[in-house]
Amino acid sequence: MTPRFAVRLAAIVAVSAAVAAGSFVVVRPWSLTWGTTGDEARRSFPGESVVYDAGWQETHAITIHAPVESVWPWLAQLGQDRGGFYSFDLLENAVGCQMPTIDRLRPDQQSWQIGDRLWMYPSHRAGGIGYATLRVYVPGRALAFATHALGTRMSDPENGSWAFFLQPVDAATTRLIVRGRVAASRSTAGLVVDEAVFNPMHFVMQRRMMTGIKRLAEGTDRGRIANHVMVGLWVVAVAEIGLALMLVLRRPRWKRALVGFAAAALTFEFLTLGQPPLFVGGLCVASVAAILVASGGRTPDA
């Protein structure tokens, strides 16, 4: 490894560490309580008993301009074998989830009993482990499921929960609140993988799920085509990250390319976690492309 290559590689590592640190310090706390009021983030909801000794908790909320009675049917049919999860089904189906792609109410798929399974992956695949088990059920108001945290064997005791609550605001407005909890007794490896990979991915999908429920309950289309376009922007952002890395390591204008790498990484984070309007997302991707084009010349940086 030449000294020049080592310097560039060190710069990439430094920028990556800075982006990761900023995400952990700024984005992570925001994502843990996205959409909630202070009271909602602190208060207890049905299903807390599923995990008594929670070492980690997230609470997300969204306002839906529809009465509880209009929201509940969409919430009650959550599940791979029911109405789906109203999220980025293009991604879900790309990994074999076989989610429904037609949004309609299915009255025969809205009833629950304690012990029923919420399927997130087809029951006949992956050894039948892709489910959570209903432990608390308040008809018309709440569903709380017990889960196994990442890295936990299905034969081990359940150590996580995923709960959904509907809180009436008035006759025409509802708050949808979703809470996840994980027991305190976790391995270090499990915690690291959760924080770095699973929790951000889960937030991305859950936020879109909640938005989907909101739109459907309010009587509008949840925007599947827009979801697909957003996923396309993510792919472009990832490609820009890869191109920026190549430019940093191989091109004379590597410092400009390093700026492009940082911009591409931040853009990907903004697109996935922030989920801006498509126009804004497109501008961000185009701006990164402009930086990378300017980095592709042969004149050395000053």
Predicted local confidence at residue 297, as pLDDT: 55
Burial of 38: CB neighbours in 10 Å, binned 0-12, 13-18, 19+: exposed
DSSP 134-196: EEEEETTTEEEEEE--TT--TTSPP-EEEEEEEEEEETTEEEEEEEEEEES---HHHHHHIII
Nearest alpha-carbon partner for 50 in 121, 190, 147: 147
Higher-pLDDT residue of 51 and 216 is 216
Q: Is pTM beyond 0.85 here?
A: yes
Q: CA 25, 31, 35, 38 torsion: positive or negative?
A: negative
Mean pLDDT of all residues belonging to the chain: 91
* Encoded tokens for 164: 């959904």
Predicted local confidence at residue 190, as pLDDT: 66
Interval 211-229: pLDDT, tens:
999 999 999 999 999 999 9
pLDDT-derived band at 3, boundaries 50, 70, 90: confident
Interval 165-183: pLDDT, tens:
999 999 999 999 999 998 8
Is a pLDDT exceeding 60 seen at residue 100? yes
Distance in angstroms (rounded) separating the CA atoms of residues 151 and 153: 7
Is a pLDDT exceeding 70 seen at residue 79? yes
Predicted local confidence at residue 134, as pLDDT: 97
Is a pLDDT exceeding 70 seen at residue 186? no
Where in the sequence of the chain do the CATH 3.30.530 domains occur? 35-186
* Encoded tokens for 29: 């706390």
Predicted local confidence at residue 195, as pLDDT: 75
Is a pLDDT exceeding 60 seen at residue 299? no
Predicted local confidence at residue 302, as pLDDT: 40
Q: At what angle do helices 278-294 and 224-250 cross, to 10 degrees?
A: 20
Higher-pLDDT residue of 190 and 180 is 180
Distance in angstroms (rounded) separating the CA atoms of residues 85 and 47: 20
Instruction: State the average pLDDT over residues 125-148.
Output: 93
* Encoded tokens for 222: 């949840």
Is a pLDDT exceeding 60 seen at residue 298? no
Predicted local confidence at residue 8, as pLDDT: 93
Nearest alpha-carbon partner for 209 in 97, 125, 46: 97
Interval 235-251: pLDDT, tens:
999 999 999 999 999 88
Predicted local confidence at residue 127, as pLDDT: 85
Domain made up of 35-186: CATH architecture: 2-Layer Sandwich (3.30)
Percent of the chain with pLDDT strictly greater than 90: 75
Rounded to the nearest angstrom, the gap between the alpha carbon of residue 60 and the centroid of all alpha carbons in its chain is 11
pLDDT-derived band at 188, boundaries 50, 70, 90: low
